[in-house]
Structure 1
Amino acid sequence: MLLSRGLAALTLILFSALSLHAEFLYKDDVVKNPAFSEQINAIGTELKAKTGVSLYLVMVRDLDGNQSIADFEKQLAREIKEPAVIMTFIELEQKVDILARPVSLYEHFNKQQVLSPNATFIGAVVSAVMFARSYDEAKELIANRGGTILPILAEKAKGDDIVSKYSVAMYNGYADVAEQIAAHQGVSLSSSAGSGSKNFIDILRVIFYGIILYAIILYIRGKYFRKEGKKDE
């Protein structure tokens, strides 16, 4: 009898621990990777402890019937306590959205920037030229560059690399939102990607723009010398 009670108590403790560990990766039908789950929950746990805000990540294959991602998020919001932010990824629709409750939490992070399809200034300018229907829309596209999810989801991948792409994209976006919320409240997160990762990305961007500038200089020099050569003839 005592043994049975002991096993029952141990089972309850283990179940509670596992439920707590999986709290911030609220639902995952896509990646299903323990390491990914551990990273997300580490950030979510620290963010909740330091700011009181719960940041949930939900990743599902598809939605039921004609349900929209917005309706799905509102349904999830009824299951959790505020203040909370829900980041949702629908694999088959390749859609991502972020819901904040109460709505005042939107002031703690830049949703448009996180969900921007453009990671860089150059990409934003190209998108503005090709797709903007007005000056204000073009200005908004350029201002909200720095997307941390959609540019990665847009990359081509095959086989197991597809799931890896999803995990990288959603981790980047989750960490980005968490860091912005923390910064808004004047705290930092040791478990998140941190400024070191962002500095590394900035360095890569500088190198990228440097290569483009160097190519333009070579092109102009080549064109100039060709003209000078024709004059000499």
Structure 2
Amino acid sequence: MLLSRGLAALTLLFTFSLHAEYLYKDDVVNNPKFAEQINAIGTELKAKTGVSLYLVMMRDLDQNQSVADFEKELAQNVGEPSVIMTFVELRQQVDILARPVSLYEHFNKSQILSPNATFIGSVVSAIMFARSYDEAKELIVNRGGTVLPILAEKTKGNETVQKYSVAMYNGYSDTADQIAASHGVTLSSSAGNGSKNFIDILRLVFYGIIAYGLFRYVYGRYFRRKKEDNV
């Protein structure tokens, strides 16, 4: 009986320790400093709001398993209220699941996972990819992405792992900040607006170059056609 109680207590302690780690699973970055930063934000967010924000970084999932199915299964294990941010490297997919669903009101999922970090980038995307006015409007309104614009950057070797850590740290921090703000509190451990503003500046330059190239392309085609018509 004493042994059984000891094993039960050990199991409970292990389960609590596992769920206290807000970097719930990491098969990608494997950096102690990264884990420390994520867990610091998650611990402070939980203490101030009661919401658990988990980050899961998987190499891949089972062949027939979707990211949504994986998150729903995990949500049953961690309990509520909780938010799960999942990145699957080989699929290059990122998703955020909130339980209960009312938690979606505490952060802007579309903005966090937007492929565009800046207004200029969203306008360029709307011009190039939107198939309707509503799609164009959604792309422009839900700008300010803190994950996908970084993941889209081309990298090689060790830089790729660093890119993953930066992207997911920014997305996790952004989500935590928004949840905290909805509860009327701030987080001292998060990235804060300074990091996001710096990223916005970099993206502004990047998309500015794209916009300039697009302008020169359209301008060149227009005047070339005009010149040919005049010949």
Classify the TM-score, shorter chain: 0.7 to 0.9
Q: Are 2:188 and 1:190 equivalent residues in the alignment?
A: yes
Give 3-state SS (helix, strand or coil) of 1:78's partner. helix
Distance 2:158 2:204 in 1: 31
Q: In the alignment, what sits opposite 1:231?
A: none
Q: CA deviation at 1:125?
A: 0.5
Q: In the alignment, what sits opposite 2:29?
A: 31
Compared CA separation, residues 208 and 160, structure 1 to 2 (3 A):
closer
Normalised to the residue count of structure 1, the TM-score between the two structures is: 0.79
Q: In the alignment, what sits opposite 2:227?
A: none
Compared CA separation, residues 212 and 123, structure 1 to 2 (3 A):
closer
Q: In the alignment, what sits opposite 1:216?
A: none
Distance 2:120 2:16 in 1: 44
Superposed CA RMSD: 2.7
Q: 1:141 aligns with which of 132, 139, 151?
A: 139
Compared CA separation, residues 131 and 200, structure 1 to 2 (3 A):
closer
Note if contact 1:179-1:192 (Cα within 8 Å) is conserved in structure 2.
Answer: yes
Q: CA deviation at 1:135?
A: 0.5
Note if contact 2:51-2:81 (Cα within 8 Å) is conserved in structure 1.
Answer: yes
Question: Which 5+ residue runs of structure 1 have no aligned equivalent?
Answer: 1-7, 214-233
Q: In the alignment, what sits opposite 1:217?
A: none
Normalised to the residue count of structure 2, the TM-score between the two structures is: 0.80
Letter in 1 for 2:183: Q
Q: In the alignment, what sits opposite 2:63?
A: 65
Q: CA deviation at 1:189?
A: 0.2
Deviations 1:150-206 (A, max 9, x none): 000000111111100000000000000000000011000000011333344456567
% identical equivalent positions = 79
Q: In the alignment, what sits opposite 2:42?
A: 44
Q: Are 2:143 and 1:167 equivalent residues in the alignment?
A: no
Letter in 2 for 1:129: I
Max Rg structure: 1
Note if contact 1:22-1:37 (Cα within 8 Å) is conserved in structure 2.
Answer: no
Q: CA deviation at 1:136?
A: 1.0
Q: CA deviation at 1:207?
A: 7.3
Give 3-state SS (helix, strand or coil) of 2:78's partner. coil
Give 3-state SS (helix, strand or coil) of 2:153's partner. coil
Question: Which 5+ residue runs of structure 2 have no aligned equivalent?
Answer: 1-5, 212-231
Give 3-state SS (helix, strand or coil) of 2:63's partner. coil
Q: In the alignment, what sits opposite 2:102?
A: 104
Compared CA separation, residues 160 and 22, structure 1 to 2 (3 A):
farther
Give 3-state SS (helix, strand or coil) of 2:79's partner. coil
Q: 1:178 aligns with which of 164, 168, 176?
A: 176
Distance 2:203 2:152 in 1: 18
Counting matched residue pairs gives 203
Compared CA separation, residues 137 and 51, structure 1 to 2 (3 A):
same
Q: In the alignment, what sits opposite 1:126?
A: 124
Note if contact 2:18-2:24 (Cα within 8 Å) is conserved in structure 1.
Answer: no
Write out aligned runs for 1:207-222 (5 A): none
Note if contact 1:148-1:169 (Cα within 8 Å) is conserved in structure 2.
Answer: yes
Compared CA separation, residues 23 and 136, structure 1 to 2 (3 A):
same
Letter in 2 for 1:28: D
Q: In the alignment, what sits opposite 2:225?
A: none
Q: CA deviation at 1:131?
A: 1.1
Write out aligned runs for 1:217-228 (5 A): none
Letter in 1 for 2:171: G
Letter in 2 for 1:33: N
Compared CA separation, residues 202 and 117, structure 1 to 2 (3 A):
closer
Q: In the alignment, what sits opposite 2:82?
A: 84
